[in-house]
Structure 1
Amino acid sequence: MAAIMVQGTGSEVGKSVLVAGLCRAFANRGLNVRPFKPQNMSNNAAVTFDGGEIGRAQATQAIACRVPASVDMNPVLLKPEGDRVSQLIVRGKVRGTLTSGRWREGREGLLEEVLASYRRLADEADLVVIEGAGSPAETNLRAGDIANMGFARAANVPVILAGDIDRGGVIASLVGTHSVLDPADAAMVHGFFINKFRGDPALFAGGMATIEQRTGWRSLGIVPWLAPARRLPSEDAVVLDHPVVGRGHRAIIACPITPHIANFDDLDPLKLEPGVEVVMVPPGRAIPDAAMIIIAGSKASRADMAFLRAEGWDIDILAHHRKKRPVLGLCGGYQMLGRTIADPLGIEGAAGTTTGLGLLDVETVLGDDKTLTQVTGEALGASFSGYEIHLGQTTGSGTDRPLGRLSDGRAEGALTADGLVAGTYVHGLLGEAAQRAAWLARIGVAGQGPDHHSDVDAALDEIGEAIERALDVDAILAIAQRAA
């Protein structure tokens, strides 16, 4: 068994994509590879074959390895419910909530479980490619760390460090990381590489030499800007900091960005369609005149419903409906389309009931049992495959007219008699080309894009090939073989 850990000089330096690319590059060499991230924080999650949930990035990395995703690939997942509160998922199952103040003590008890998951993966693989979180330079978080050097030291896994040149200051970020690390932590780093480079890498030869001289770390290469990464599922809400605004003459599909938006990668397959433009609507803006509105998933559907009203988006959605234009609610969005969302146990905050948009004759009651399952079925005359990941049960006369049927015959979702309002708990509904085309036909657009799953796989191939060209992959594998 061999292992390598990719850490970064900061968040958003591209670690998730780099790990996915390395996984595909090594898998293409015939190695049995597994991805691993000790601790992740994201509301974009995926359901595994063994009935748990992990971060979306690790599920994508599993695809890169050409293996099913398992809960051991991301044993600790934090799903933010507010600025200082997160739901804690351990090996795919909810273990409670944690405030930021309690996290420092709580994470120390998780290291053994993290190591146990890692060892299970190591036992079945030739190579484990591990992704760090944030940066090891955040030395204020070093005590009790399980995400970066704390894990690397405990598992005796060598580290390579990635720096992002696109944001500037990459020499200082790498040299600075070296200068603030504890010497024993710095000794775990066996090399570095540069990510997101635009132009001729030869122009940065002097920069690479400076970093090598100042740190003593080996240069492993310069990765170019990876355009295919845009086709991979979105991992977290950072991508929503620069939302798309409508332009051009394509049919607009609008989605409001609520504070607790989750699994908004459900909309990614629509980006494959030349006839539509997905517009993510930020707070402070009205929902534009659109062919369709999609209300995405939510980590806190009652709070996001209240936010919809505070923004006046409920008025926009109801006006859109009066124009006889379709509305689709996904998971938490499905709950918001109903008459009420009740939380008698205070699962998502203070106990109580929130009035929904009332466009579907359904009611939702939140409970402490989370549904986590992969599903297949048919809706609108076309097949789909995806997964359910939600709290609560939705009932009412609206479910007597289901949107579709699961492969086991169960009814799924709700659809109004006029076919204009639909709700579903299926994430990934729009991934298959025929299913997506059925929805686009309702707004007069011909679906032309491929299956999203096939496109993601093709993008991973392109990224893996770029990694092989840009990095000294042989040297990275040799470093990985030093793992215990």
Structure 2
Amino acid sequence: MTRAIMIQGAGSNVGKSMLVAGLARAFTRRGRAVAPFKPQNMSNNAAVTVDGGEIGRAQALQAMAAGCAPHTDMNPVLLKPESETGAQLVVQGHRVGPRAARDYMRDKAGLLPRVLESFHRLCRKADLVLVEGAGSPAEINLRDGDIANMGFARAANVPVILVGDIDRGGVIAQLVGTQAVLEAGDAACITGFAVNKFRGDVRLFDGGVTEIVTRTGWPCLGVVPWFADAWRLPPEDVLDLASTPGGPCRIAVPQLGRIANFDDLGPLANEPGVSVEIVPPGRPLPGDADLVLLSGSKSTIADLAALRANGWDIDLAAHVRREGRVLGICGGYQMLGRSIADPEGLEGPPSTVEGLGMLDVETVMRPEKRLALSDAHHMASGAPLSGYEIHLGQTHGPDRDRAWLRIGDRPEGASSISGRVRGTYLHGLFASDPFRAAYLAEMGASSDLCYGATVERTLDALAAHLETHLDLDRLWDLSRPVAG
């Protein structure tokens, strides 16, 4: 019979996603069929699934760790923030439409049947379902109608392991305090705890473990040291984006507020000869960058306004005059054109805005979202690549006649006359080793990195790390059979 257990956090960003990925690989190596599941995710970093939908990028990585294909059932509710008070709602992989935060909070309980439907479908295909919570159950102001933490755990009768982050400090208060604020039925769901991100000699926290056990009555499954190679895995959240110093080839990435699908950066960050610099708001783009990369955006028009407000449009123009290269991916591609029209108000009030004018193309936003896994090739080198498309806009114009990629028989992307400014809708292209090597060679950099193998080795190392520092046998025993 299928078993399930849920990993919840005593706070946000405690490492839940990473722990679930490592546990998925560890139990898979033990011969179990594992499936990851997150009832509700909030992220602009999405992945396209084999069944033609989208889920959070973290669940796609967890599926890879478990050796299975990403499926929309692994993340049935996805919220993609579009503003400070609203998000695009995706249910079982497909866009429903925009939701104001207040409206979603009022209506979210109505999504629980769809969440449970996806969960039970997964359970029919796995020995163990590893469920990841969202944020923290200690946010009891969000408990009414909850589908992400204790609301799901109780509806599905799934036991919970609570994880604290010692790197932030106050981990005893995190864990003990969570128990203190939960109502009795929710607190009873928690069957154990773990402490994550410890730096130094874990024996120094023996007294802390004793205090938590004494005050909560929960068993400790382990204290997990800091996993230094976590940066080698695709980041889940914009908070995880960080510059990676490396070799002399310098790539600058403006950090826009609604940056999306930035897993394009992971393979470049792993290149020994490449330095990836995430440029925060308020700082100029470096004048000596070889490439400025404009990533995807969940709100292209708003991010374009922010780019101008930071003066990055001026920096980009100077970069191009110095014969520097620019690559726009998805939303970044749209920004590089002459105009972006949103006649139906998909990103806000209906409007047409002037683009950066670095590509002779124009984009019109349409409500039909394109979701596709795509195999392609680089026209200059013939290098094969694969990736995914996930966008609303349609882009046309003369510079598309200089497409630099081809998907099947269809030209993809656009190039300036000089070839130094390019755009494409294809995400994930740098994960393909032959293409990445050919692209970097244009800037005088070499590559012999096998990125996929690097990710697999890192997942194996993470699994071994958790085997050493967590009691996985006890975790299995604490998991509970799932009623069909």
Deviates more, 1:206-215 or 1:301-310: 301-310
Runs of 4+ in 1 over 6 A off after TM superposition: none
Name which of 248, 268, 271 aligns with 1:270: 268
> 1:327 is matched by which residue type in structure 2?
V
The answer to whether the 8 A contact 2:223-2:470 is kept is yes
> 1:445 is matched by which residue type in structure 2?
A
Query: How far apart, in 1, do the equivalents of 2:62 and 2:243 lie?
Result: 26
Tell me by how many angstroms 1:430 deviates: 0.7
The answer to whether the 8 A contact 1:158-1:482 is kept is no
Query: How far apart, in 2, do the equivalents of 1:341 and 1:458 lie?
Result: 42
Q: Specify the alignment match of 2:137 in structure 1.
A: 136
What are the equivalent positions in structure 2 for 1:348-359 lying under 5 Å apart?
348-359=347-358
Query: How far apart, in 2, do the equivalents of 1:78 and 1:228 lie?
Result: 28
| Residue 326 (structure 1) aligned with residue 287 (structure 2) | no
Tell me by how many angstroms 1:248 deviates: 7.9
Name the SS for the 1:63 alignment partner. Answer: helix
Tell me by how many angstroms 1:161 deviates: 0.6
Query: How far apart, in 1, do the equivalents of 2:309 and 2:9 lie?
Result: 38
Query: How far apart, in 1, do the equivalents of 2:146 and 2:299 lie?
Result: 28
What are the equivalent positions in structure 2 for 1:106-255 lying under 5 Å apart?
106-240=107-241, 243-244=242-243, 250-255=248-253
> 1:35 is matched by which residue type in structure 2?
P
* TM-score, structure 2 as length reference: 0.97
Q: Which runs of 5+ in 1 are unaligned?
A: none
| Residue 5 (structure 1) aligned with residue 6 (structure 2) | yes
Tell me by how many angstroms 1:227 deviates: 1.4
Q: Specify the alignment match of 1:457 in structure 2.
A: 456
Name the SS for the 1:166 alignment partner. Answer: helix
Paired positions, count: 479
Deviations 1:5-24 (A, max 9, x none): 00010001000000001111
Tell me by how many angstroms 1:481 deviates: 3.3
Tell me by how many angstroms 1:352 deviates: 1.1
> 1:457 is matched by which residue type in structure 2?
E
Name the SS for the 2:80 alignment partner. Answer: strand
Q: Specify the alignment match of 1:297 in structure 2.
A: 296
Q: Specify the alignment match of 1:414 in structure 2.
A: 414
The answer to whether the 8 A contact 2:346-2:365 is kept is yes
Name the SS for the 1:78 alignment partner. Answer: strand
What are the equivalent positions in structure 2 for 1:81-120 lying under 5 Å apart?
81-120=82-121
The answer to whether the 8 A contact 1:158-1:483 is kept is no
Q: Specify the alignment match of 2:400 in structure 1.
A: 399
The answer to whether the 8 A contact 1:296-1:332 is kept is yes
Deviates more, 1:221-230 or 1:74-83: 221-230
> 2:470 is matched by which residue type in structure 1?
L
The change in CA–CA distance for 1:295 and 1:149 in structure 2 (over 3 A counts) is: same
Tell me by how many angstroms 1:228 deviates: 2.1
* TM-score, structure 1 as length reference: 0.97
Q: Specify the alignment match of 1:430 in structure 2.
A: 430
What are the equivalent positions in structure 2 for 1:12-91 lying under 5 Å apart?
12-91=13-92
Tell me by how many angstroms 1:249 deviates: 6.8
Q: Specify the alignment match of 1:365 in structure 2.
A: 364
Tell me by how many angstroms 1:232 deviates: 1.1
Name the SS for the 2:345 alignment partner. Answer: coil
Query: How far apart, in 1, do the equivalents of 2:358 and 2:175 lie?
Result: 53
RMSD, matched Cα: 1.3
The answer to whether the 8 A contact 1:42-1:79 is kept is yes
The answer to whether the 8 A contact 2:332-2:423 is kept is yes
> 2:443 is matched by which residue type in structure 1?
I
Deviations 1:329-366 (A, max 9, x none): 00000111111111000000111111111111111100
The answer to whether the 8 A contact 2:8-2:161 is kept is yes
The answer to whether the 8 A contact 2:246-2:274 is kept is no
The answer to whether the 8 A contact 1:337-1:360 is kept is yes
The answer to whether the 8 A contact 2:246-2:273 is kept is no
Deviations 1:276-327 (A, max 9, x none): 2111111111101111111110111111112211211111111111111211
The answer to whether the 8 A contact 1:41-1:80 is kept is yes
Query: How far apart, in 2, do the equivalents of 1:257 and 1:354 lie?
Result: 21
> 1:122 is matched by which residue type in structure 2?
C
Deviations 1:216-259 (A, max 9, x none): 1111111111112111111111124xx539x7872211011111
| Residue 287 (structure 1) aligned with residue 285 (structure 2) | yes
The change in CA–CA distance for 1:229 and 1:248 in structure 2 (over 3 A counts) is: closer
The answer to whether the 8 A contact 1:274-1:448 is kept is no
Query: How far apart, in 2, do the equivalents of 1:404 and 1:250 lie?
Result: 26
